[in-house]
Amino acid sequence: MKVAILSAMREEITPFLEKYPHYSVQEVGGNTYYLVKAEGYEIILAYSKIGKVHSALSASTMILHFGAEKLIFSGVAGGLSPKLKVGDLVIANKLCQYDVDISAFGHPLGFIPESSVYIQADQKLNALAKTVAQEMGIGLHEGIIASGDSFIASAEKKKWLIETFGADAVEMEGASVANVCHLLKIPFCILRSISDSADGEADVSFDEFLESSAKISADFVEAMLKKGL
């Protein structure tokens, strides 16, 4: 089986390259893809660069060019729910794009014609993640992840995301990857480790905890692969 593991930043994909150092490299569309055979899979690894456009391009390339049959996004996010603290793991049961706004035409925020506000993640992969978390004895939160092309570091914006979308975490790529996988009929799981609280201190927390949070997420994905997708 061919499995894509995608992240947004170099720091998020580095733990995987350290786990699986025997890889080949291909350049496609201005991005680097690392190909490795490990854990019984053909794995395609990449970091897309930040934002919804880059992540959508990378996810599409992994599926259409490299033939990925399942996709896991591994990285960090800002915590919105008061239940989440730095280092906690969260998987999306559904995702939305909080910065899509055609409300002038009477549509709800986040709505795209011929689509919907929310996109559901794959239930089987999420169930596997829950099983792995239980076996590892660690907490795994499941909730709504909101995505948009802004780094959230405002208590007011944080409150708005919770009230408008019921979001538990916020980041800049998950919903675009979800949309690509949904349209191309590829099962996907969006896994995030909390790096900050998406408030006025988010920039400080993010820099401090980026690498450690990214490693937590990568270790968990490795456990999922060993368990069997």
Alpha helices in 117-190 (DSSP H): 123-136, 155-165, 174-184
| Catalytic site positions | 12, 196
- In the chain, how long is the greatest CA-to-CA distance? 52
Whether pLDDT at 202 is above 60:
no
Report the length, in residues, of the chain.
229
pLDDT at 153: 85
The domain segmentation of the chain, as residue ranges, is 2-227
Shortest CA distance to 224 belongs to which of 87, 122, 147? 122
pLDDT tens by residue, 15-58: 999 999 999 999 999 999 999 999 999 999 999 999 999 999 99
CATH, domain range 2-227 = 3.40.50.1580
Residue 75 makes CB contacts below 8 A (sequence gap 6+) with 7, 8, 9, 12, 171, 173, 191, 192, 193, 214, 217
pLDDT tens by residue, 97-147: 999 999 999 999 999 999 999 999 999 999 999 999 999 999 999 999 999
Q: Round to the nearest angstrom and report the end-to-end CA distance of the chain.
A: 9
pLDDT tens by residue, 49-104: 999 999 999 999 999 999 999 999 999 999 999 999 888 999 999 999 999 999 99
Query: What pTM does this model have?
Result: 0.93
